[in-house]
Amino acid sequence: MPIVRNLGRAANQLLQSSGCGCGVSLVPVRAIGVSPRQVASDASFHSVTFSESDHPRVLITGGLGQLGVGLAKLLRKRFGKNNVILSDIRKPADNVFYSGPFIFADILDYKNLREIVVNNRITWLFHYSALLSAVGEANVPLARAVNITGLHNVLDIAAEHNLRLFVPSTIGAFGPTSPRDPTPDLCIQRPRTIYGVSKVHAELMGEYYHYRYGLDFRCLRYPGIISADSQPGGGTTDYAVQIFHDAIKTGKFKCYLRPDTRLPMMYLDDCLKATLEIMEAPAEALTMRTYNISAMSFTPEELAQEVQKYVPELQMTYNVDQVRQAIADSWPMNFDDSNARRDWGWKHDYDLPELVTTMFSYLGSDSRIAQAN
């Protein structure tokens, strides 16, 4: 049994009763028998059909972020609604709550997270809980706890219970000394944000657990993700979402990056498709555990030219934010994802023209867009 330490009965009882101390990376000896609370918690899932029971039992942590809700929708369509549990520490919107199973899960509460995995017979875990770059820089101790200690809890639980574990990484895992055009899967990584550092840590720890303990760890480095379903949050790549909202509302957009700033990007549907494909890929097909994935790479100027096909009068101006520009200048301009395409057949659906068409089909009810079409 991987990682399980010979702590003795007394130590095991201590761990079981103390919740493993929120961040203590010890994996307790498996308990013999099932407590009444476990039986009660599990009972609600005993009514699934036989066909549903053949599918993986999925838990998504940090599920109320940009990707979690969309991923849950995709997985429920494929594996059945009751086989995919969305979790977070925040209260979900009504439409999310009623769309399928949702539970409270704090990744810093080791005991609670372990109970969720055991009681609900989880076999796949998608670990999306993380503080992103801007929030992380404003609160480094919290980012360290969530992004690193929380990861350790998830790794230990996944290894003990033989889960297939997915942890996303990011273009932020690279730094100014990394090759940028293109950026290969394996190269120097020296990020300068706590978010980026924690993602490199996650990549290396996941690979270590795979080689040391046999954990089925899988990781994709996401480029900038563009979605019509979420509002831009002020991140470095969020200009590529904001431009659509501003073009529709005002016909004017002020960009905080230089017009020639090239970054790898991807439409949300491609991102979710890639995530499911890497999880379904046969283990023997994978030559590595962390892959780059890419779809397109463009500059603000190139995006604006494509947007102007729908909003010809769009006025594009530039007011460079030095902080975000410095971050962008340290990130890849293009991802080399040839290994993903070779090993498990990755192929994107959305290039820049398809991206812009799709975004306006979701957002564009303005008269000037209708006239352009």
The b-or-e profile of 87-105 (16+ CB within 10 A means b, else e) is bbeeebeeebeebbbbeeb
CA distance 313 to 47: 57
List helix spans (H) across 169-227.
194-213
Cβ–Cβ under 8 Å, residues 325 and 257: yes
Nearest to 158 by CA among 200, 83, 107, 199: 107
Distance CA 155, CA 165 (A): 8
Residue 195: active-site member: yes
152 within 8 A of 89, measured Cβ to Cβ: no
Encode 38-76: b = buried (16+ Cβ within 10 Å), e = exposed. Answer: eeebeeebeeeeeeeeebbbbbbbbbbbbbbbbbbbbbb
Helices (H), strands (E): how many in the chain?
17, 13
- Residue 165 has which token pair? 């574990």
CA distance 373 to 368: 9
Q: At what angle do helices 352-363 and 239-249 cross, to 10 degrees?
A: 50
What does the DSSP 8-state code read for residue 284? Answer: G
Of the candidates 110, 195, 239, 350, the residue annotated as catalytic is: 195
SS (H, E, C) 111-155: HHHHHHHHHCCCCEEEECCCCCHHHHHHCHHHHHHHHHHHHHHHH
Tokens of 46: 């005993």
**C-alpha dihedral over 100, 105, 107, 110, to 10 degrees?**
-130
User: What positions carry a catalytic annotation?
Assistant: 195
